[in-house]
Amino acid sequence: MLLLSEGYCRDTGHHVWRGSVSLENERLMRREGKLYSLDREGGRSVYGESILDIDGISWREWIPWRSKLGALFTKRPDIRLPRRGDVLYLGAAQGTTVSHLSDILIEGAIYGVEFSRAPFIKLADLSRRRDNVVPILEDAFHPERFRAIVPPVELLYQDVAQKEQLELFLLNCGLFLKPGGIGVLMLKARSVDVTASPRDIFEKVGGGLSERGFEILETVDLSPYQVDHLAFIVRRPRQ
């Protein structure tokens, strides 16, 4: 139970809470069913999300309708992902989810790969304000083009709405994910095959991951926040 009193700061336009708050860790907080990340920028909204001020510390709401990783954490608060070490993010877009990863990452950098120039401009702007974000304008299907930039990573996160999502994930995991590292595949079934059953697609992809030796730690249906999406959390073999 949180013991907080609400106020409003006219200077910043942020809600202000005073009192005690129960934190899961030093960078992630839940309050009344909502998820918040500790704002690395000290009170600046990235995509229109609300800001809470708690005893002078700014927290950004992590909206599950806008972020698949936010949906995952909202539905499964017990999910734990690496927060020390480097991250490769495929399909970084304009940086909505990247910004929250930037908030909660304790050590390391996020290498965000985006192919489309329009969202990349916003991602690049975000990186100018956050020193742990490295934007890469490139096609994730050609990892050899950014292999010299990205080091071996502890976490590989993919959110790409393409037909060959599994193949793309396996390709990049093979090049960048450390043995024993964690991969998160946000699978959009309708992008793989609009005519097939999402359940059949999920089973096929799960089989493909297992055949390549990945340990499937969790699968999480992201509805109602993201329809026909399944999150695969996997571990790469250590050998």
- Any idea what the CATH number is for the domain that residue 169 is in? 3.40.50.150
Residues 113 and 222 both lie in one domain? yes
Residues 51 and 99 both lie in one domain? no
Residues 52 and 122 both lie in one domain? no
Residues 152 and 44 both lie in one domain? no
pLDDT number for residue 32 = 87
Confidence of residue 7 (pLDDT cuts 50, 70, 90): very low
pLDDT number for residue 8 = 35
> Mean pLDDT across the stretch 20-38?
74
The structure tokens 């927060």 sit at 83
Using the predicted structure, report yes or no on whether residue 156 has a pLDDT greater than 60. Answer: yes
Confidence of residue 12 (pLDDT cuts 50, 70, 90): very low
Burial class (CB in 10 A: 0-12, 13-18, 19+), 56: exposed
Domain edge (last residue) among 61, 80, 109: 61
Residues 91 and 53 both lie in one domain? no
Residues 123 and 198 both lie in one domain? yes
Q: Which distant-in-sequence residues (6+ apart) come within 8 Å of 232 by Cβ?
A: 183, 184, 185, 187, 205, 206, 209, 216, 218, 219
Tell me which of 17-21, 41-45, 167-171, 205-209 is least confident. Answer: 17-21
In angstroms, how far is the first alpha carbon of the chain from the final one? Answer: 45
Residues 130 and 205 both lie in one domain? yes
Beta bridge partners of 233: 184, 218
Residues 29 and 135 both lie in one domain? no
Q: Write out pLDDT tens, residues 158-182.
A: 999 999 999 999 999 999 999 999 9
Overall number of domains in the chain: 2
Residue ranges of alpha helices (H) inside 23-116 are 68-75, 96-104
Q: Which distant-in-sequence residues (6+ apart) come within 8 Å of 176 by Cβ?
A: 88, 143, 147, 150, 151, 152, 153, 156
Using the predicted structure, report yes or no on whether residue 4 has a pLDDT greater than 60. Answer: no
Q: Write out pLDDT tens, residues 90-127.
A: 999 999 999 999 999 999 999 999 999 999 999 999 99
Confidence of residue 22 (pLDDT cuts 50, 70, 90): very low
Domain ranges, residue 51? 3-61
Q: Taking a C-beta distance cutoff of 8 angstroms, is the pair 87, 149 a contact?
A: no
Residues 208 and 161 both lie in one domain? yes
Domain edge (last residue) among 11, 28, 61: 61
Q: Say whether 156 sits in a helix, a strand or coil.
A: strand
Would you give the distance in Å from CA 142 to the centre of its chain?
21
Using the predicted structure, report yes or no on whether residue 58 has a pLDDT greater than 90. Answer: yes
> Mean pLDDT across the stretch 117-144?
98
pLDDT number for residue 239 = 73
Residues 172 and 210 both lie in one domain? yes
Take residue 146 and report the two structure tokens written for it.
């950014």
Residues 55 and 140 both lie in one domain? no
What pTM did the predictor assign?
0.88
pLDDT number for residue 77 = 84
Residues 213 and 193 both lie in one domain? yes
Domain edge (last residue) among 35, 61, 87: 61
Confidence of residue 25 (pLDDT cuts 50, 70, 90): low
pLDDT number for residue 16 = 36
Q: Taking a C-beta distance cutoff of 8 angstroms, is the pair 117, 147 a contact?
A: no
